[in-house]
Structure 1
């Protein structure tokens, strides 16, 4: 009986379809190679150029978002190494638990700060008069520290028993304590994605409706703002919802003891988890480089040659008195859009 239990596909971490997992590994290596330099370059600007701790609320949350993504990216080469060697995780217990802790902590932090940034934008655009909430958000360093602190106890269940290989939940031989631990782990996994998703959808819909009703201001900037908040929701949906649905299907197959279907679901779930790491590459582009000021700072710091032609073009035309008056008149109406 013991041999049969050990041979069950959900009780080991062997990658049965090795070519597929080698492909997954190559995708993670590509994500790491592209995303790490981009995130580190953005992190450098936040620390040494913008001095984020002295900047506005949004910059502090963005810094923590990029920091979480960098810490998550560090885990990808290790995970890719195991995939290349035909294992879904490390065979060493300590390494496996450390990897799970880092992956879930920093992935949860990335989602949490993404949600907080969306809520901040929601109040800036839809409810600009809510002074009480604005005062609370000004304490963004405290909120950031609190988010990291709250994520620690939520991540601990991933270290108590192997989660990545889906070994335990739904098995008859589990004890009551193991069932409670596994259930808590699954609840954390689903809630940290589904709750932020619904919050993000609500904030996005309200922001888009509010921006579409604006009649004053540059229409190009308004369209850009609508595109930005919509793209954030789409990126979240593309990166995180597929792996969540795949895990739901996997649990159903395991509880019903559909072994062949579970084998396929496991491979699909691992692949969609690899897809979710793409968020680390997209975050700096959507949140940071979409800002005109930040993009200009980025290009000035790293690619000054690209700005030379734009600078020459900008210096050539002269603004007339009427244009200057219009520009001053619209500055106040643009301020809300620029915060997005």
Structure 2
């Protein structure tokens, strides 16, 4: 296949390497099969066992994180079908825009609630006695609703043009005014994409470093609990870096290749790499429950008691019959 035909396939949002895109589709199907029952079971525990709306912990944020991951998962079979058909996105304009809306809204929500949870943990560990706005309002469901509403205007720019085809700053013979408007729209859309990842990443790095330093300096207390807390905040950074940074870097490379108008073969490789790393970012749906839920021994005990009782060893964590939480008031926190 010549370079010109490959370049045209990219611009038409078609796969240039159908075998590779079928592999991407297989990966998404595996993620869907593994992550859906995992997230659904965690959601069940939050609603029927933990009764998250009555909780004094981060459970409201974690509940929204699970909801965002589940909604994102439902997009994966459609995305996988498109890849199998040799299309990088749906040829139906309505379906394409709906998919973009769902993918970026729920992906943004997952990042947002992950970040808010880390900020809350930062205040609890580094400034345990200081009053803060987040601590005051986190018990109210309104804060979660506000986060979802704030994400809506950030999602709209990805729907203005075909973001999935990675054709920002496309070289075309257009009138000067039209070309200028298109460049502005493309730039806004790309700025939204990078902002949703870079700013939370900076916040996560700061919170993680401060929490780890604070815990390492703490000499009084349960060493096991301190090690678990360090492992938790470190895992957050690892998951975020593994899932979201590679596709961000690939997007930068892709934009540089297009703006510099390098050879079509480079644009093809950059686009294929970006699509593959976007698939990698969906692993977040599978890793979130493992990191945020199963790092808690109490939540793990509750999960095993309800779904895998035969795996339980030793003394089980005593659970309150109405909430599913530890009956001891001083140990009622899940995370």
Instruction: Provide the secondary structure at the position in 2 that maps to 1:175.
Output: helix
The root-mean-square deviation of aligned C-alpha atoms, in Å, is 2.3
Could you say which residue in structure 1 is the equivalent of 2:72? Answer: 72
Question: Which runs of 5 or more residues in structure 1 are unaligned?
Answer: 316-327
Could you say which residue in structure 1 is the equivalent of 2:179? Answer: 175
CA–CA separation in structure 2 for the residues paired with 1:295 and 1:112: 24
Return closer, same or farther for 1:154/1:208 CA change in 2, 3 Å cut-off. Answer: same
CA–CA separation in structure 2 for the residues paired with 1:61 and 1:98: 25
Is residue 235–residue 279 contact of structure 1 (8 Å, CA) maintained in 2?
Answer: yes
CA–CA separation in structure 2 for the residues paired with 1:263 and 1:63: 39
Could you say which residue in structure 1 is the equivalent of 2:190? Answer: 186
> Which shifted more, 285-294 or 4-13?
4-13
Instruction: Provide the secondary structure at the position in 1 that maps to 2:58.
Output: helix
Could you say which residue in structure 1 is the equivalent of 2:302? Answer: 297
Could you say which residue in structure 1 is the equivalent of 2:226? Answer: 222
Displacement of 1:177 in angstroms is 2.7
Taking structure 2 as the reference length, the TM-score comes to 0.89
Could you say which residue in structure 1 is the equivalent of 2:205? Answer: 201
Which structure has the bigger radius of gyration? 1
Question: For each residue in 1:5-56, what CA deviation from the matched residue of structure 2 results, as whole angstroms up to 9, or x when unmatched?
Answer: 9963442111010111011000000000000000000001111111111112
Displacement of 1:135 in angstroms is 4.2
Question: Which runs of 5 or more residues in structure 2 are unaligned?
Answer: 319-327
CA–CA separation in structure 1 for the residues paired with 2:150 and 2:128: 28
- 1:125 equivalent to 2:125? Answer yes
Displacement of 1:169 in angstroms is 2.2
Return closer, same or farther for 1:46/1:262 CA change in 2, 3 Å cut-off. Answer: same
Could you say which residue in structure 1 is the equivalent of 2:91? Answer: 91
Instruction: Provide the secondary structure at the position in 1 that maps to 2:163.
Output: coil
Is residue 24–residue 274 contact of structure 1 (8 Å, CA) maintained in 2?
Answer: yes
Question: For each residue in 1:173-216, what CA deviation from the matched residue of structure 2 results, as whole angstroms up to 9, or x when unmatched?
Answer: 35333222221110010000000001000000000000001111
Is residue 7–residue 267 contact of structure 2 (8 Å, CA) maintained in 1?
Answer: no
CA–CA separation in structure 1 for the residues paired with 2:134 and 2:280: 35
- 1:234 equivalent to 2:238? Answer yes
Moved over 6 A (4+): 4-7
CA–CA separation in structure 2 for the residues paired with 1:23 and 1:134: 43
Question: For each residue in 1:219-262, what CA deviation from the matched residue of structure 2 results, as whole angstroms up to 9, or x when unmatched?
Answer: 12211111111111011001000000000000000011112111
Is residue 232–residue 295 contact of structure 2 (8 Å, CA) maintained in 1?
Answer: yes
Displacement of 1:132 in angstroms is 3.2
CA–CA separation in structure 1 for the residues paired with 2:6 and 2:230: 53
Could you say which residue in structure 2 is the equivalent of 1:113? Answer: 113
Taking structure 1 as the reference length, the TM-score comes to 0.88
Instruction: Provide the secondary structure at the position in 1 that maps to 2:167.
Output: coil
Is residue 125–residue 214 contact of structure 2 (8 Å, CA) maintained in 1?
Answer: yes
> Which shifted more, 295-304 or 175-184?
175-184
Equivalenced residue count is: 318
> Which shifted more, 76-85 or 160-169?
160-169
- 1:213 equivalent to 2:210? Answer no
> Which shifted more, 26-35 or 158-167?
158-167
The structure with more helix, counted as a fraction of residues: 1
> Which shifted more, 192-201 or 255-264?
255-264
Could you say which residue in structure 2 is the equivalent of 1:282? Answer: 287
CA–CA separation in structure 2 for the residues paired with 1:139 and 1:255: 47
Could you say which residue in structure 1 is the equivalent of 2:42? Answer: 42
Displacement of 1:311 in angstroms is 2.8
